[in-house]
Amino acid sequence: MISFTEENYLKSVFHLSNVSSEVSVKDVSADLGIKMPTVTSMMKKLAAKGLVEYQSYKPVKLTPRGQTEAALVIRKHRLTEMFLVEHMGFGWEEVHEIAEQIEHVKAPALFNRMDEIMGHPKVDPHGSPIPDRHGKIMSRKLRKLSELSEGDTFTIEAVTNSEDDFLNYLNQRDLSLGTVLQVVFIEPFDFSITVRYKDKETILSKTVSDRLLGE
């Protein structure tokens, strides 16, 4: 049995693995807001359970089983988010915190039912892929808005961050998944991008354009 707490560590290592190739104790510590000694001891525990590979002073890595278990928690998280948006009328900025709690519920039937009711959605409200029942994830290689050049066209397909502050910022500017943007101008000084969409023109900072994925 994997505890609530252990599930959160697995998810953290999983997410960090998709950001950089090596995941350090420090990274996990920062990500979860838990001190390094605690992370070290949890890594030993997860290693003993066969969920992570751990050697002192080395980066940590999920074992295949650890990856599957992490993906299954993420599946529960994303199905929940999608269900809250699609069937309960929540905004995409409201669902992450609720899903953080419901993802730990041990009731496969609940999540399989959500999946069925929604017709097996491929992505969550933030454009992140939903792993299947076996923990397999479809990977799409999307580009960041910040990587484009002047004159390019871009469709928002995902956001890399689900904090409500950021999503409310996007809501205020009427930016959502599916919005098509034209890159009008890139400021060489701070890389802020002027974009045109839906008869509007706005300047987005690099912080924002780094968090928007699409093609």
Q: CB 69 → a second copy: shortest distance, Å?
A: 18
DSSP 196: E
Q: Determine the 3-state secondary structure of 91 from DSSP.
A: coil
Q: Shortest distance, CB of residue 77 to a second copy, whole angstroms?
A: 13
Taking CB under 7 A as the criterion, the residue among 41, 101, 112, 153 binding DNA is 41
Residue 36's binding partner out of a second copy, DNA, Mn ion, none, with CB under 5 to 8 Å set by partner kind: DNA
What is the C-alpha separation between 97 and 81, in angstroms, rounded? Answer: 9
Helix or strand (DSSP H, E) at 167? helix 164-172
Beta bridge partners of 193: 186, 204
Rounded distance between C-alpha atoms, residue 197 and residue 183, angstroms: 9
Q: Considering CB distances under 5 to 8 angstroms, the limit depending on partner class, which of Mn ion, a second copy, DNA, none binds residue 138? A: none
Rounded distance between C-alpha atoms, residue 190 and residue 187, angstroms: 6
**76 lies in the binding site for Mn ion (CB under 5 A):** no
DSSP one-letter code for 162: -
Q: Which amino acid is at 205?
A: S
**CB closer to DNA, 48 vs 180:** 48
Among DNA, a second copy, Mn ion, none, the one that 96 touches (CB under a kind-dependent 5 to 8 A) is Mn ion
- Give the residue, chosen from 18, 19, 20, 26, that forms a contact with DNA under the rule CB under 7 A: 26
Does 25 participate in binding DNA (rule CB under 7 A)?
A: yes
Interface ranges with a second copy (CB under 8 A): 84, 87-90, 94, 97-98, 101-102, 105-107, 109-110, 113-114, 117
CB of 97 to a second copy, least distance (A): 7
Decide whether 65 or 120 has the Cβ nearer to a second copy: 120
Question: Is 53 buried (19+), middle (13-18) or exposed (0-12) by CB count in 10 A?
Answer: middle
Dihedrals phi, psi of 214, to nearest 5 degrees: 180, -155
Q: Which does 84 bind (CB under 5 to 8 A by kind): a second copy, DNA, Mn ion, none?
A: a second copy
Closest-CA residue to 82 (of 120, 133, 137): 120
Q: Where do contacts with DNA occur on this chain (CB under 7 A)?
A: 3-6, 24-27, 29, 33-45, 54, 56-57, 59
